[in-house]
């Protein structure tokens, strides 16, 4: 389709994790563009040229540093994808990078709790946590949630697991908790973003 919108140029400012995330998102947008424009049916060398053309000056600078073995080629889009993955450390075999992104993911300002939990669930998928997945998601919620009142309630819950955590997060704050000072429990403005506000009768 001639009206398919190409991705914006790759912006790789920030920490290694942020750069890796930027590349992952850019590649997904590039894949969508290939399909929407019909270019996915073109030879791999055409797709490779399009990648280099669209990725922007920062991405091109990285591209220009790549070296290739006998079975590799700069005219193979799959090869370029592998090269960029290696550069940014986003290959699924790099479990350390994936776990780093999981363990440093905190709830963003204004982010609904449901969206935060979903983000943790998605980040955990390739971390090879196996049977520890739910426990580690629960721990990450406790550590990364932005509201200190909610964190305190979770920490005081006996035998806390992910199911109990989700039930607790859906339960409205008690009035006596909601009226505690900001100094003790952090910004009160974050509470309505997570739960329905508690109004005094």
Q: Do the beta carbons of residue 95 and residue 128 sit within 8 Å?
A: yes
What is the CATH architecture assignment of 97-171? Orthogonal Bundle (1.10)
Residue 192: what pLDDT?
36
In terms of Cα–Cα distance, which of 11, 12, 69, 4 is closest to 31? 4
Q: What is the pLDDT of residue 193?
A: 38
Which part of the chain has CATH 1.10.1200? Answer: 97-171
**In this predicted structure, what is the pLDDT of residue 175?**
43
Per-residue confidence (pLDDT) for residue 91, from 0 to 100: 64
Residue 2's pLDDT is 61
Beta strands in 86-184 (DSSP E): none
Residues of the chain with pLDDT under 50: 174-201
- The burial of 37, by beta-carbon neighbours within 10 Å (0-12 exposed, 13-18 middle, 19 or more buried), is given as middle
pTM over 0.95: no
Q: So what's the pLDDT on residue 12?
A: 87
Tell me what pLDDT residue 77 has: 96
Residue 3 pLDDT: 74
What is the predicted pLDDT for the residue at 92?
56
pLDDT of residue 196: 40
Helix axes 16-37, 44-54, angle to 10 degrees: 130
Q: What is the largest CA-CA distance in the chain?
A: 76
């Amino acid at each position: 389709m001639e009206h398919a919108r190409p991705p914006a140029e790759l912006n790789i400012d920030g920490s290694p994790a942020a750069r890796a995330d930027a590349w992952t998102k850019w590649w997904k947008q590039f894949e969508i563009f290939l399909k929407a424009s019909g270019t996915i049916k073109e030879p791999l060398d055409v797709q490779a040229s399009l990648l280099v053309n669209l990725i922007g000056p920062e991405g091109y600078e990285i591209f220009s540093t790549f070296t290739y073995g006998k079975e590799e080629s700069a005219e193979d889009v799959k090869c370029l994808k592998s090269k960029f993955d290696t550069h940014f450390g986003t290959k699924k075999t790099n479990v350390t990078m994936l776990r780093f992104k999981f363990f440093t993911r905190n709830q963003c300002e204004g982010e609904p709790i449901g969206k935060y939990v979903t983000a943790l669930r998605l980040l955990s998928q390739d971390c090879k946590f196996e049977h520890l997945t739910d426990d580690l998601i629960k721990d990450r919620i406790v550590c990364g949630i932005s509201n200190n009142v909610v964190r305190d309630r979770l920490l005081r819950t006996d035998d806390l697991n992910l199911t109990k955590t989700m039930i607790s997060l859906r339960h409205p704050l008690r009035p006596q908790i909601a009226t505690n000072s900001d100094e003790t429990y952090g910004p009160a403005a974050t509470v309505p973003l997570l739960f329905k506000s508690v109004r005094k009768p």
